[in-house]
Amino acid sequence: MDLRDKVAIVTGASRGIGAAIAAELAMEGCHVVLAARNEERTLALAERLHQLHGVRTLALAVDIADPGAVTAMVERAVTEFGGVDLLINNAGMGIYGSIDEVKMADLRHVFDVNFFGAIQAMQAVVPTMRRRGGGVIVNISSIVGKFASPLGGGYTATKFALEGASAAARAELKRDRIKVIIVRPGLTETEFSQNARVSVPGAEHRQGERHAPMRGISAEKVARRTVRAIQHEERTVYITWFDRLLVFGSQLLPGLFAWGLVWAAAIRRKRFEEAR
């Protein structure tokens, strides 16, 4: 797919993977609608991309958990650019807490952002893609959309749901020439863990701390691989071979992998219990 003069909406575009994807698209000559809650950062990035690459940009303050705001985002993009060719469903957030203790209000909010917000955006953008004869929807999932993440089961559940909906939509939208791409990053060096909700009773004060066990790959690497997948109209994308092997290992050796998850759960639980 030639990205020059195409129009893309990128959610969660103020930082991390979303900002990197927006920059990579602009570099390819794609006009970009940047949507995120942080209006100041989104505006600054939109202006910078316009100055650097000469593409048209539009910054919108959008809470992806608000269905009305998501619909308005797409309507504004259609009004300003005449239509939408690409939707990058990147907005997302994590949640820490065991399934038996996680607060339901926290879990529902994460589902609103990670799953329902993405589905709302898809529903809003499909009509304009149909009118333009096709398009591409990229749903940023995770490798934990394929296996469990101890004390991160709520986040895992949102990605399992997104994976299932994406696969169904891929088949349903094929006749409209709308492609659905699933991207499964592994650990990435962003502010994700700091922005995740801590739904562990007694450890809520650790909200905003870094909880990732190690440094991950750069957001720019995820962005480059994602844009290449769009250009070649791939179906499912892993960023590294390690990510791919981890997922395949969980499927080929489920017993051994389950033992590893129990071990990981004990380590993570101890860290949060010490904070209580």
Q: What is the DSSP string of 152-209?
A: -HHHHHHHHHHHHHHHHHHHHHGGGTEEEEEEE--SEESSHHHHSEE-STT-GGGTTS
Model's pTM, two decimal places?
0.92
Determine the pLDDT at residue 204. Answer: 59
pLDDT at 198: 80
Q: What is the pLDDT along the chain (276 residues), one digit of tens a residue?
A: 899 999 999 999 999 999 999 999 999 999 999 999 999 999 999 999 999 999 999 999 999 999 999 999 999 999 999 999 999 999 999 999 899 999 999 999 999 999 999 999 999 999 999 999 999 999 999 999 999 888 899 999 999 999 999 999 999 999 999 999 999 999 998 777 677 768 666 555 655 555 555 568 999 999 999 999 999 999 999 999 999 999 999 999 989 888 888 888 887 777 766 655
Strand partners, 88: 10, 138
Amino acid in position 154: G
All structural domains of the chain:
7-274 (3.40.50.720)
Mean pLDDT computed over every residue of the chain: 92
Which secondary structure element, helix H or strand E, spans residue 139, and what is its range? Answer: strand 135-140
Taking the alpha carbons of 156, 159, 164, 165 in that order, is the dihedral positive or negative? positive
Give the per-residue pLDDT at 189.
84
Quickly list H helices, the chain. Answer: 16-27, 39-53, 67-81, 104-111, 117-131, 153-173, 192-195, 219-231, 241-252, 254-274
Residue 139 to residue 96: CA distance in whole angstroms: 22
Annotated catalytic residues are 155
CA dist 166 and 129 (Å) reads: 16
